[in-house]
Each structure stands twice: as C-alpha cells, then as structure tokens.
Amino acid sequence: MSLLQPVHNIAEICARHGITDVVLSPGSRSAPLTIAFARHPGLRVRVVPDERAAAFIALGIAQAQRRAVALVCTSGTAGLNYAPAVAEAYFQHVPLVLFTADRPPEWIDQLDGQTIRQTDLYGGHAKGAFEFPADLSHPDARWHAARLVSEAINLAEQFPAGPVQVNVPLREPFYPSAGEEIRYDDVRIFRETGSSPQLLPAELNALRQQLRETRRALVVAGQHPADESLLLALRQLASAYQIPVVGDLIANVHLPVGPDYDIRTAPLGRQDVFMAVPEVGLKEAMRPELLITFGQSLISKALKNYLREYGPKQHWHVQPAGPVADTFKSLTRVIRMEPAAFFEAMQGTTIPEAAEPVTNAKASKQAPKTQLRLTWQGPGSARDEAAAPKDAFTTPWQRAEGWATEFLADFLKTPEQPFNEFTATHRALRQVPNRAALHLANSMAVRYANILGVQPGRAIEVFANRGTSGIDGCNSTAVGAALAQPERPVVLLTGDVAFFYDRNGFWHNYPTPNLRVILLNNHAGGIFRLIEGPRQQPELEEFFETRQQLTAENTARDFNLRYFRARTFAELDTVLPAFFAPANRGNAALLEITTDSATNAAFFEQYRAAVRTSFSS
C-alpha cells in the first residue's frame, strides 16, 4: 500500500459525506490532495489561483447549496489568504472544510521554503482544527486519518455550521509516477444525525401563555437564509396574535410564500426610513414589551439603536444551538429551538381569530412632503393598556411602514435631480429578475438596498457578507453562487472599492452567463462622506475616501465580461433591459454606473433631511 493512500482517501471520504464541490488553488506541496480530488469521479473540482478569492467563491457555493464545500491549498501563506473568508463563514454559519497542505513537523521553523506555523491557523475564527498524521505507516495512523476527516466534516455541518481546518503535513516524494493510477479505498465513514431541540410541554405552554397575555410583542429577524416553512409560521403567528414582524432585506422575510400571500400584511422592511424620524411619540408608540428575535446580524443601525434605547421588558432569542449575542442589551431568555418550529409551536392548538389587516395610511402625493399621522397615547396617558386590543400596537408599525413606502416613492420622483447612485440603485433594483439571488457588497451598496428594497412580490433571495461586513470577497462570493446554480440569475450590487479590491474573483476559467454585476463607481469610498466624523475632516479625500480614477472597462475586457455603462438616467433606463436580458453567450455582464461622490452625498443628505421634515403627528 502506498504511504499516500490515506491522503488519496480524503477525496473519497468527502464524496461519501455528500460534498460535491471542491475549490483548489495550484501548488506543489498540495499535489497529493490535488490529484486525489481532481481524479475523483464524484467531485466537481474548480481551480481558482488566488486563495483569498477561492475561499470566498467556496463560501458562495456553500451558501447556494446549503452544504459543505472543500478547499485545497498548498503550504505557507496560501492558507493565510483563506482567513477573511474563514472569518466570514464562521460568523455567518457557512460550512467549509479547508485542507491546508503543510511541511512535516520536523521542518517547521527550520527556514524551509513555504513554511509557516499552520497548526490551528485560524484560531477562534474556525469551529475546529485537525492535524492529519504525518507518519501514515502504522494501521492505527491510517484509521486515525480517516476518522478525523469524518469528524471535521461532521463538525463543519453541525449547527451552527462553520469552517473547519484539516492541516495535512506531507513528505516527499508526493507525485505519482508517469501513468500511475491512484485508487480510493472502501473507507468507512461515520455521520452525525442531527437532532431538533424541543422544549418540554410545560415550558411551551408557559411561553404560549406569556405571548397571549402580552399586548406589545414584536418579532425582529436577523440575517437568515430563505426558509418557506419559517415564513409561513411567522405570517400565521403575526396574523393570529397581531404581532409586527420586522426584518432587513438580508433576513429574507420579504419573500412571497403561501397561496394567500397578501403584500399588505407582509413583514415590515422600511425601518431604516421610519426609524430615522425624530418624533419621540412615535418611538413610544412602537416600543415592545416583548421582543422575539432570531437569525444573525442586522444592517439597520437605526433599528438597533432604537431597540437599545427603547428596550423591552423581555427579550427572547430563538436559536437551536451555539453562542447567542445580546445585541440589544435586553436578553432575558434563550429558546433552544429551530425558529420555524418555535413559531409554529407558539400557535398551539387554539389560535385567536385574526383581525382584519390594517391598510396602509394614505400619504400626500407631493414629493418629498409626504406626511405621517398616527394616533397614540403618549407616556403617562390614563389609557388602560391591558384593555387595549392587540392591533393597537400593530397599527403604528404598519402605518409607519406604509408612510415610508409612499414617502420613498415620492422622494425618488424628485424633479430635476442630479444623476446619483441612490436613485440609480432604486431603478436597477426594480429590474432584478424574479427568483434571482441578489448579492449585496458591503459599504453603501448593502445600505442603499436595505432602504430601497426589492420589487414587492418578487421571489428574490438576498445574500451579503454581513458576518464580518468586509469588502474583501464580495465579487468572489457572487461568482461562487453563479457557479453553484447556473440556471438561476445572480445579481451583485457593489461599490467601486469593493469591486476593484476583489477583481481576482473573476480570475478563473468557468463560464457564469447568469451573473450580472452592477457597479456603483463614484471613484471613491463614498460612505465616508455620509457618516459623521470623517466627512468633517480635511483628510477626507486623500486618506478616507480612497480616491481613484479607475473604470471597469479594462477589467471587463480582461475577464471577458460584457460591458455596459451609464452616466445619466436616460442611459441607465436604456441599458438596463439589455443588461438583464439572458445571455446568448457564456459571458457574465457588468454595468458600470458612474456618478460623482460629492453629488451622491448631497442628494443622500437631502433624502435624510426630507425624512426628518416630512413627518408630522
């Protein structure tokens, strides 16, 4: 038996665990791994030269497929380049299994080439780290090698999923002779059967009772993959108990599900707009007694700040396993259940009759002076809260949502506005195809999209690297999604700094005709003109904005992307249909929307001022 047989068996173990996709980057020390994966008939192996891009592409594949993806790299700094994607996968709960080839232990710290300290390379940003045996001559070592690969894959996929490293020290020689075949043993694997945590009946009954007795309950959804059973349970609960459900775009609660879907009673998503009004009475009217949360991070800083300032008496977070963050400084109970199962269980055997849906309040049609008028009892009112109907709490939330929707529609029609990326983003998002996967790059792209939303009623699933909120792999993650689901439109909305930073995400040899990249190029990091602090500093342009004069036309030519450009609203409206049209060739498409950073900042400030001044009670 070849001493490398346990290394070759790694590919077979991955296949037997259901892994179908492998992303590897070329190198010499990783040759036995590369050959084993490349020759395995049950695996789809793609080569991406840049390890940082490779890891984010694997992240995008894993997000789309909702199963683990394997990565292979050579020794030295190659594995370090995986680190940004590893951290993102850890905080976003995405399963990756990273096979990092290494020198044998006796050559670490001996000035040997491409040698660093690779054991536990990712520290606290990986779920686990395994060290493959360097000496595979003994039968026990071969048994150990196969066992730990199974353990690593199981750990990566166990909730909360995440990245796991398997460090593989390899001694020379490790290339097979010319014409030599490699084989895969009939290896034994073991799987971990998942269990769904459930509460005892008495605990469930107590929670149901509390929920029924609470007049002011609010559900807030963090980042979460699309889940039809969860959405149905949420909407049934919201209707039965008159509970507002609020979620950012990345929570995917906006998706239309069920035969009786009614856009008027869908979860709320305009919190970035109506939470920006300075009216204390509105904030008090919307204050929950009980906050129920699930999912991961929130984009909306306004909502986070509101819930920290107007904290609930009780805060339940629903999550089946893993550490829980106290994001709003109000956590009182962690409920160890799957969110869908919890919201179904809360309805119990008797469900109160649902009240008639509250229709959106009518607003003035004159932009941007849309007015919001609510009726509520302020602090210190003699109103008997216990006797109030539950829809008394739902009404201000729904009316605020209705006001925000109509306000935005009116404001975006502001006459004679300059060409700006806020309005341009709105027009582009309205054209995103149904059932697309929409990827949002960090910085302003994800914030614009969270304010503006997608076309109502369209099944557009939204993704963003909000685990760490970095710009370093936004292109690559979208590329991974396009590779994983070639039949599905994949749209990336990104800014110029994130786009140019991650150009190597397009450096591969695989067609992605379903990929559409919308690039907002203001030749700067425009976000720094929009946040307090840097925009007041004389160093703004040189040291914060990252001023650059690049255009994407050469990048499109280098990577064979079909190129579109828009510098006016007329040009944008003309090119959008052609840009989104299905490709008749195997090429992705890139639309570069060129604007001025200072103009964007001025128009966005006009929007923020309009939000504040258009509200009245």
Render the burial of 135-152: b for 16+ CB within 10 Å, e for the rest: ebeeeeebeebbbbbbbb
Does one domain contain both 162 and 245?
no
Residue 381, pLDDT score: 32
Check residue 369 and give its pLDDT.
42
Alpha helices in 242-348 (DSSP H): 271-274, 280-285, 301-309, 339-345
Residue 358's pLDDT band (cuts 50, 70, 90): very low
Greater confidence, 350 or 105?
105
Encode pLDDT of 236-289 as tens digits.
Answer: 999 888 999 999 999 999 999 877 777 766 899 999 999 998 888 888 999 999
Residue 438 lies in a domain: yes
pLDDT at 336: 96
Position 535 scores a pLDDT of: 65
Average pLDDT, integer, range 68-72: 98
Give the model's confidence band at 379: pLDDT under 50 very low, under 70 low, under 90 confident, else very high. Answer: very low
Express each pLDDT in 417-449 by its tens digit.
Answer: 999 999 999 999 999 999 999 999 998 999 999
What is the structure's pLDDT at 528? 61
pLDDT at residue 613, rounded to an integer: 87
User: Is the CB of residue 273 less than 8 Å from the CB of residue 248?
Assistant: no
Contact 405, 431 (CB under 8 A): no
The reply to whether 349 and 242 lie within a common domain is yes
pLDDT score recorded for residue 389: 60
Instruction: Clarify whether residues 275 and 233 are in a common domain.
Output: yes
The answer as to whether 408 is a domain residue is: no
Contact at 8 Å (CB) between 249 and 222?
no
Identify whether 407 is part of a domain.
no
pLDDT at residue 384 above 60? no
How far apart are the C-alpha atoms of 440 and 450, rounded to whole Å? 10
Give CA–CA dist 579/464, Å, rounded: 22
pLDDT at 193: 81
Q: What percent of the chain has pLDDT over 90?
A: 75
138 and 211 share a domain?
no
| Residue 354 pLDDT > 80 | no
Domain harbouring 326, CATH code: 3.40.50.1220
Which residues constitute the domain of residue 124? 5-169
The answer to whether residue 118 sits within a structural domain is: yes
- Least trusted range by pLDDT, from 184-198, 360-374, 385-399: 360-374
pLDDT of residue 363: 33
Identify whether residues 13 and 157 lie together within a single domain.
Answer: yes
217 lies in the same domain as 150: no
Sheet holding 461-464, edge to edge: 461-464, 437-440, 490-495, 515-521, 589-594, 562-566
Verify that 164 and 207 share a domain, yes or no.
Answer: no
Count: domains in the chain: 3
114 vs 478 pLDDT, higher one: 478
User: Tell me, what's the pLDDT at 617?
Assistant: 42
Mean pLDDT of 355-365: 35
Q: What is the pLDDT of residue 387?
A: 40
Please report the pLDDT score of residue 324 as a whole number: 95
* Confidence band for 114, pLDDT divided at 50, 70 and 90: confident
Q: Same domain, yes or no, for 134 and 213?
A: no
Confidence of residue 552 (pLDDT cuts 50, 70, 90): very high
Check residues 203 and 524 and name the one with the higher pLDDT. Answer: 203
- Regarding whether 165 and 19 lie in a shared domain, the answer is yes
Reported as a single tens digit per residue, the pLDDT across 461-494 is: 999 999 999 999 999 999 999 999 999 999 999 9
Query: Is the bond preceding 368 in cis, omega lying within 30 degrees of 0?
Result: yes
- Sign, CA dihedral 214-218-219-223, equals negative
The verdict on 164 and 208 lying in the same domain is no
Give burial (CB, 10 Å; 0-12/13-18/19+) of 486. Answer: middle
Predicted structure pTM score: 0.89
Output the CA–CA distances (angstroms, integers) from residue 422 to 87, 453, 516, 601, 606, in the order listed.
30, 12, 19, 10, 11
Residue 33 covered by a domain: yes
CB neighbour class for 506 (10 Å; exposed up to 12, middle 13-18, buried from 19): buried
Residue 314, classified by CB atoms within 10 Å of its CB into exposed (0-12), middle (13-18) or buried (19+), is: middle
Tell whether 208 and 333 lie within a shared domain: yes
pLDDT for position 216: 96
The predicted-structure confidence for 498-512, as pLDDT tens digits, reads as follows 999 999 999 999 999
Stretch (H or E) spanning 437:
strand 437-440
pLDDT score recorded for residue 526: 58
Which pLDDT value is given to residue 361? 35
- Using pLDDT thresholds of 50, 70 and 90, give the confidence band for residue 352: very low
**For residue range 20-52, what is the model confidence (pLDDT) as tens digits?**
999 999 999 999 999 999 999 999 999 999 999
Q: In angstroms, what CA-CA distances link 598 with 329, 415, 595? A: 37, 19, 9
Give pLDDT tens digits for 385-423.
Answer: 444 566 789 999 999 999 999 999 999 999 999 999 999
- Report yes or no on 405 lying in a domain: no
Q: Which residues of 403-432 are buried (b: 16+ CB within 10 A; e: fewer)?
A: bbbbbbebbbeeeeeebbbbbbbbbbbebb
Give, to the nearest 10 degrees, the angle between helix 569-580 and helix 421-429.
Answer: 30
Please check the confidence at residue 188 and state whether its pLDDT lies above 80: yes
Q: Assign 110 a pLDDT band (cuts: 50, 70, 90).
A: confident
Same domain, 340 and 209: yes
Domain end point (choices 169, 191, 221):
169
Indicate which CATH number applies to the domain containing 590: 3.40.50.970
Q: What sign does the dihedral 211-212-215-218 (CA atoms) show?
A: positive
In a domain, 616, yes or no: no
pLDDT of residue 340: 96
